[in-house]
Amino acid sequence: MVATQTSIEKGSNLIKKYTKSLTTKPGVYRMLDINDKILYIGKAKNLLNRVKSYTNTNKHSYRIKKMISETQSMEFTITNSEAEALLLEANLIKKNKPRYNIAMRDDKSFPKILINKEHPFPRLMKYRGENKIKGEYYGPFASAGAVNRTIDTLQKAFLIRTCSDNVYMNRSRPCLLHQINRCSAPCTGEIPKGDYDILISDLDKFMNGKGNDIKDKIYLDMENESKNLNYENAAILRDRLETITKIQSQQTINNSKIRDADIFAVMQLNNITCVQVFFFRAGQNWGNREYFPITNKIDSNELILDSFIAQFYTTHPCPSNIIISIKIPSHNLLEKALSEKNSKKVIITVPFKGEKLKLIQKVLMNTEQALKRKMNLLHDQKSLLEALTNKLSLKRIPKRIEIYDNSHIQGSLPVGAMVVVGQDGFEKKHYRKFNIKSESIAKGDDYGMMREMLERRFAKISETGTNENSPDLLVIDGGIGQLNVALEIIQNSKLENIEVISISKDKNRRFGNEKIHLGKSKTLILDKNDPLLYFLQRIRDEAHRFAIGSHRHRRTMQLKNSRLDDIEGIGAKRKQQLIKYFGSVKSIQEANFNDIIKVPGINEKLARDIFSSLNNE
């Protein structure tokens, strides 16, 4: 819809009213539409001057004019400085993702490696979240896979335990990892605490970039063991030395001059933008991650990267050095804001020569490859959706497909699952699980479970009357019975634009013989080599995977909670203390009275009650 001159003038006049009482201090402003939904979030060194600029519509682009015409109200937050306003703006954009702002699509936390020092013999482990546990943290790593691979090699090099405290306490003899020289087995006293502490210290030095010093130390120890004819110990040291050398040689994009830095590069192709981030810590490359932020067609690379970096560091750890591929508008302000927030000097650099420029060029090459992969994926996805529309005679190409499945064991702990597929592929942030609650549903009643799940899913859409996040197509895992349940609920909800199909296997449950049920007794069987069949199988299997995973989680939580919940005097806090101390309900059950009474907050009477209840005495 093209905004009329009248609507632009109306929006401009409304904004002008706010300028009459607006301060000249720095702050953040929000433009809201008729439904109080945020259209745009901006920062200003001088709120009055910045907001006043919107009243002169002749100076703005069509996009800004349209935004002004849709503005029905404004909100303001005054800050102490422009740097504070920039960080607040980034926080609000990331949280609300307004239509006229550049916004990050994905904001998963980065995994780290933790040396957990809450135990006398520290544990090597993967960790996400805030640094609340006592110990040494190394990261961020780009992916969980990178952390797992690194832990695997570090374990070979430094023989640090990775088992949980619960497993550690219940070992009576060394495990297999000790036998294959991947753990020093402190659990059974195979290594003195002093020697184990040396291994921890060596690992810390290695993770802080002193790998060559550790190699020299291990080499000397190996030579001494060999001279003393302790060939078995010398062989273990030789294997550790080889592992450390292998880790160092695997740094494909590395630069010894760069100690701690994040490297950003941005590139656009056919209105799709990619921002690539590489992480360097202690002179080592700890992986990279690509992002495809939400942008407008006219946004420049400079503006995109500027907004992206500000949002990126609202939650992620910030190094002392940030290297970027192009100059950004808020260069100096962002340096100041990040320095104040992190209580250290943060420098943003745009290299024009030397090794840093070569590194940026490598990152840009990775960015270009990521864009090409994304373009191919979108093209394939678009072709599949167009083919699906033609094959199933759908009314329109679906922009959002929802796939439903449920999981249970003989009717117990039933869980329904919804998986979402869009034009970019699977949209995992929109996945949803449903714990089936109705007591009227008989055990194993798949129709009843599907009915409750779909009724709960579409009740909100029917009540609000909004079509936001409403699907174009439902795919049900099941036969004609499940299909009819879905069709009935869609009809009762008066959602006319949603189409439904179901997928069922043959009587022998053979893969590749699926039937596509379209309603009104119409069934379609696709050729085994048809890409559409593979596409439908893939999205059906993803729903099945998510449903089973959700059911297993629910079952695990019930097993963890049920036995303790029946004991009088055990509330949420004490239960948490017990689980934290022992690691699991099974370990509490195996513990004796003297162990239980050591838990903080557990007195003698309560310890006896716990011991008696869990041991049926």
For 375, residues 6+ apart whose C-beta sits below 8 A from its C-beta are 269, 270, 272
Residue with more model confidence, 519 or 524:
524
What's 112-128 look like in SS3?
A: EEEEECCCCCCEEEEEC
Segment (H or E) for 545: helix 531-565
Which of 164-178, 268-282, 333-347, 585-599 ranks highest by mean pLDDT?
333-347
Mean pLDDT is lowest, of 63-77, 163-177, 547-561, 595-609, for 547-561
Residue with more model confidence, 597 or 444:
597
**Of 156, 147, 152, nearest to 127 (Cα)?**
147
Q: What angle do CA 91, 96, 101 make, to 5 degrees?
A: 85
Question: HSE of 530 in the Cβ direction (CA atoms, 13 Å)?
Answer: 16
What's 263-274 look like in SS3?
A: EEEEEEECCEEE
Q: What percent of the chain has pLDDT over 90?
A: 35
Contact between 133 and 159 under an 8 Å Cβ cutoff? The reply is no
What are the backbone dihedrals phi and psi of residue 432, each rounded to the nearest 5 degrees, phi first?
Answer: -150, 140
pTM for the structure as a whole: 0.74
Give 353-385 pLDDT, tens digit per residue.
888 898 999 999 999 999 999 888 888 888 999
Give 421-450 pLDDT, tens digit per residue.
998 888 888 899 888 877 777 777 888 888
Pick the CATH number of 261-372 from 3.40.50.300, 1.10.760.10, 3.30.420.10, 3.40.50.10470: 3.30.420.10
Class of domain 400-548: alpha beta
Give 220-248 pLDDT, tens digit per residue.
878 887 877 877 778 777 877 777 776 65
User: What mean pLDDT do residues 15-35 have?
Assistant: 93
Give 110-122 pLDDT, tens digit per residue.
888 999 998 999 9
Class of domain 566-614: mainly alpha
Identify the pLDDT of residue 598.
85
Residues linked to residue 524 through DSSP beta bridges, in sequence order: 516
Query: According to CATH, what is the number of the domain 5-96?
Result: 3.40.1440.10
275 pLDDT higher than 90? yes
Identify the pLDDT of residue 252.
47
Average pLDDT, the chain: 85
| Domain map (residue ranges) of the chain | 5-96, 116-249, 261-372, 400-548, 566-614
Identify the pLDDT of residue 557.
63
Is it true that 5-96 and 261-372 share their CATH fold?
no
1 pLDDT higher than 60? no
